[in-house]
Amino acid sequence: MYIIFGCGVTGSAVVDSLHKSGKKLLIVDKDENALAPWREQQVNVAVSDMESFDVDSPIYKNSNIFAILTGDTDGNLSMVKRIKEKTPDNFIIVKASNKEEAEALESNGADEILHTGNVLAKTVLSTFDTFEMDHSAFTLVNTIKELNGKEMAIFLQDNPDPDAIASGLTLKYICKYCDVESTLYYGGNISHQKNKALINLLNMDLISIKTKEAVMEVVRSAGKIALIEASIPSRNNVLPEDVTPNLIFDHHQVDISAVKGDFVDIQTNIGATSTIMTKYIRQLNLKPDTSLATALLYGIRTDTKEFTRNTSPDDLNAASYLSPLVDNHIMSLLEHPPMSLETLDIIGRAIRNKEIRGSYLASFVEFINDRDALPQAAEMMLQLEGVYTVLVFGINDDKVQLSARSRDSRVNLGLILQSAFGELNSGGHATMAAGAINLGILGDANDRTSLLKVTSDAVKKRFFSSVGTEFEAETMPTDEESQVNLV
């Protein structure tokens, strides 16, 4: 947690940027009126002057980064002394109005001095980012080295995409740097032509794991468990829900209170987990080889849709660093892999079965083997004139698989799918989201026509209702049909 003392112009600018980045904050100011706007935005605030602030409070114990940005010279110095006396390893950035004040603050342990007139929010944030990345990389390496000869089991999201694969490979690379063996596992299938091409062209070694028994055997034998491109066991990954991963890396929206792990790095403001992993290897001065650099850049490019979706400055910075290191011939082959006949067929069914309500489109592609064809079909449907939000869904392995895309700035697909189908069944970003819903007892139904009908109607009804567009099924489902488990 960040604790910010002072809610003036500089303090408010810093708080605004940190809040938008999803950071956990506490703002301390003696002026209750200055704190009121932040309280309304659900930011933690405390009305107190610095002399009265309780450094023994539970909130303080969860914090290690402080910004002291008030105009109270004596109060700033006093707070620096109190923090450093209690927790000398905590990081403090503090504002000073003159040279003498700066020298006094520095001699009492302030880590960074910002002189009045040059105190800009971006300077504070840059300093925070540098410290936080250094601290995270140090903690990550120490966590991995704790294995003492045991193996790290790295679990990717189900049906891993290039971003998940590249991120998993990067963690494996960091493990090797720490002299720790590691293995990559995944649930679901790798069927998307681009994902197959990535694995084949770069000669990657991933292990498919299907059953709970097989997963638990790996969990019991491994020294630590890592989860990549997912953050909660059993949600789009093969880990059972009662397993707590040691390491978690992700960039998708999630209820952070539900995430449990020893080392958790979830950055929802970044477009790809590959960007996060690139930051780690750069912080550790680990230059990636050609294969890893190619995988990472491809992961960033695919998850940001060539930097046109959910792209942050960090994504662009990572891409700039990786570009000179990639194999351009392999990258060219990855960008134009052959399309399977099933993918073409599923796109055709999506076109044929589409239902449009205003700017929203939903299409049921019935039974599928290739779950990775769904996002391709959704991307294709999004190109239709007048369509701004798309849901394509199909039945695979006794589940209804969902893939959604949007180019409507008013829409947050991750929240819409969670509202329609439950937080445990779906999630994602504002412009792209996915989910998997258990079919329940109808998964073994002999009447395939009835199963298709009730599934199509139920999913469409929930989707269209969640976006405020009326949907009425042609006929009401029977009692048996109504038992399909969609939440």
d(CA 58, CA 61): 5
Residues shown for the chain: 487
Q: What is the pLDDT of residues 301-350, one digit of tens each?
A: 999 988 988 899 899 999 999 999 999 988 888 877 677 788 889 999 99
Lowest mean pLDDT among 115-129, 183-197, 241-255, 315-329: 115-129
From 176-185, 236-245, 273-282, 405-414, the region with the lowest mean pLDDT? 405-414
373 or 183, greater pLDDT: 183
Q: Residue 327 is part of a domain; what is its CATH number?
A: 3.90.1640.10
Percent of the chain with pLDDT over 90: 52
One domain for residues 346 and 231: no
What pLDDT does 482 receive? 36
Backbone phi, then psi, for 192, in 5-degree steps?
-60, 135
Q: Is the pLDDT of residue 246 over 50?
A: yes
Partners of 247 in the β-ladder: 226, 263
Would you state the pLDDT for residue 486?
45
pLDDT(286) > 60? yes
Confidence of residue 117 (pLDDT cuts 50, 70, 90): low
**Tokens 């980064």 appear where?**
65
* pLDDT at 13 (0 to 100): 83
Would you call 155 helix, strand, or coil by DSSP?
Answer: strand
Q: Which residue has the higher pLDDT, 351 or 128?
A: 351
CB 349 within 8 A of CB 365: yes
Residues 309 and 175 in one domain: yes
Q: Is 457 in a helix, a strand, or coil?
A: helix
pLDDT at 442: 53
Q: Is the pLDDT of residue 50 over 70?
A: yes
Is 132 inside any structural domain? no
For residue 131, being part of any structural domain is answered with no
C-alpha closest to that of 280 among 162, 167, 356 = 167
One domain for residues 174 and 292: yes
State whether 50 and 199 are in the same domain. Answer: no
- 192 and 316 inside one domain: yes
Q: How much is the average pLDDT of 243-270? A: 92
**Same domain for 167 and 73:** no
Let me know if residue 194 belongs to a domain: yes
Q: Which of 290, 319, 335 is the last residue of a domain?
A: 335
Domain boundary among 273, 308, 335: 335
Distance of CA 271 to the CA centre of its chain: 8
Distance between CA atoms of 158 and 236, rounded to whole angstroms?
A: 5
- Tell me: do 226 and 323 sit in the same domain: yes
Enclosing domain of residue 312? 146-335
Mean pLDDT score, 21-43 = 90
| pLDDT of res. 483 | 39
State the CB neighbour count (10 A cutoff) for residue 452: 15
Between 387 and 200, whose confidence is greater?
387
160 and 294 assigned to the same domain: yes
Q: What would the pLDDT profile of 398-457 be if each residue is shown by its tens digit?
A: 889 999 999 998 889 989 999 899 877 788 888 888 988 888 755 555 678 888 988 999
- 322/400 same-domain check: no
- 18 within domain boundaries: yes
Quickly state the pLDDT bin for 51 (edges 50, 70, 90): confident
Mean pLDDT in the chain? Answer: 87
353 and 273 inside one domain:
no
Q: What total number of domains does the chain contain?
A: 3
Any domain includes 139: no
Within this chain, do residues 384 and 450 fall inside the same structural domain, yes or no? Answer: yes
Tokens of residue 421, six digits: 């189908």
Quote the CA–CA distance of 51 and 79 in Å, as a whole number: 7
Same domain for 347 and 331, yes or no, is no
